[in-house]
Amino acid sequence: MKRKICVITGSRSEYGILKPLIYEIAEDADLTLQIIATAMHLSPEFGLTYQEIENDGFKINEKIETLLSSDTPVGISKSMGLTIIGFAESYIRLVPDIVIGLGDRFELMSAVTAAHIAGIPVAHIGGGEVTEGAIDDAFRHSITKMSQFHFVSVEEYSKRVIQLGENPGRVFCVGELALDRIEGMPLISKEEIEDRLGIQFSRRNILVTYHPVTIGDDVSAEQFRFLLDVLAEHNETNIIFTKANADTYGRIINKMIDEYVARHDANSYSFDSLGSLCYLSLLQYVDAVVGNSSSGIVEAPSFRIGTINIGDRQKGRIRSESVIDCKSTNKQISLAFEKLYSDNFQKELKSVENVYSMKDKSAAKIKDVLKGIDLTSVKKSFYDIN
């Protein structure tokens, strides 16, 4: 009987990373692919991005509505409760042999919780990482503890997963899955991007992707205002915004983006969802990714462009030399822009190596492990490193 592997996806960016693995599973004659789409994929506000999955030729086996019209802590907690119910019911219908999910978002936490209760083995991609400025950090480590198998991108993250008490024999260092799609995707030209997005590239261009800080007091609006104030000084630079995810206070950020673009429509653009192809293609032609997204840490260095990483949201992740870290103040952000466009930094970018790069494709490695692991005995015990 074919092994049924159920892939969970809740957002545009996460699906883009998972796509090479989904292709690997779908094309293997010994495996049956199942896909559950949830959260932002099903929201008109975030672009109904489940359609991208279907346009790629994949069947979505279950769609689980979870998002409420609120991104407050109460709203997200209610969404998590609804998501657990939805996944519990879906697992009964699909009866997967193993569930696989990527990252640290709250909808994955709900999916894994339901699988754990149902006794379904879980494989987790992205454990061992640290993002100290987001509630997702605790979600990630909790997902690790409810997962039987772990796929990590670098050895340091392997050590962290083992430090959490996971058996080293079930921790697989496979490289960064997000980089598979860069090598395997035929990126589009500058002219086609301009045509698709209705933009006009300038001599200088930046891509801004900023998500709210979800740990501590709500300072997201204040910190994002500092960035917008600095951007307003760069009136000869094209500024391309991609909007925030459905995190707490994310709608505040998106409203501020809309207001900024309305005031600076000569050189700024905003998009609910660019999709994987346009997003990665843009990285070929911009000077930097600016904000606090993981894409500036993981993918941007492969294009030998700069990253201005603002604040603590990505604190704890391993970085390439192309990443400029700065605090969320006008002065520090301005200094980061000065460094970005300095002759020395631009020269250094030409030889930057992405610390997440590996020679072999991650998707094929993950698929081979999923295909071969023994699922008859998945009981966990705490592994004591001492």
Specify the amino acid at residue 23: Y
In CATH, 3-175+358-372 is 3.40.50.2000: yes
What is the reported pLDDT for 27? Answer: 97
Residue closest to 356 by CA, chosen among 186, 168, 155: 155
Provide the b/e sequence for 74-86 (b: ≥16 CB within 10 Å): eebeebbebbbeb
In terms of C-beta density within 10 A (0-12 exposed, 13-18 middle, 19 or more buried), how is residue 265 classed?
exposed
* The two structure tokens encoding residue 238: 């094209």
What is the reported pLDDT for 233? Answer: 95
What is the reported pLDDT for 134? Answer: 62
Provide the b/e sequence for 91-111 (b: ≥16 CB within 10 Å): beebebbbbbbbbbbbbbbbb
What is the reported pLDDT for 303? Answer: 96
Long-range contacts of 69-75 (CB under 8 A, 24+ apart): 71/246, 71/247, 71/248, 71/249, 71/250, 71/251, 72/248, 73/248
What is the full DSSP assignment across 239-280? Answer: EEEE---SSTTHHHHHHHHHHHHHH-TTTEEEES--HHHHHH
- Any alpha helices (H) in the chain, and if so which ranges? 12-26, 50-55, 73-94, 106-118, 136-145, 155-163, 178-184, 190-197, 220-231, 250-263, 275-282, 294-298, 330-340, 343-349, 362-372
Local mean pLDDT, 10-residue blocks, the chain (386 residues): 95 89 97 95 84 94 84 84 96 98 92 97 93 76 96 94 96 93 85 94 96 67 93 95 77 92 96 86 97 93 96 88 96 98 96 87 95 89 88
- Distance from C-alpha of 320 to C-alpha of 356, rounded to nearest angstrom: 8
* Topology of the domain comprising 187-349: Rossmann fold (3.40.50)
* CA 310 to chain centroid: 17
Q: What is the DSSP letter of 351?
A: T
Is there a contact between 128 and 156 (Cβ–Cβ < 8 Å)? yes
**What is the CB neighbour count within 10 angstroms for residue 12?**
23
What is the reported pLDDT for 68? Answer: 67
Q: Could you give phi then psi for residue 68, rounded to 5 degrees?
A: -95, 170
Delimit the CATH 3.40.50.2000 region(s) of the chain.
3-175+358-372, 187-349
- Distance from C-alpha of 295 to C-alpha of 280, rounded to nearest angstrom: 10
- Distance from C-alpha of 331 to C-alpha of 310, rounded to nearest angstrom: 12
State which H helix or E strand residue 150 sits in.
strand 149-152
Residue closest to 125 by CA, chosen among 320, 298, 362: 362
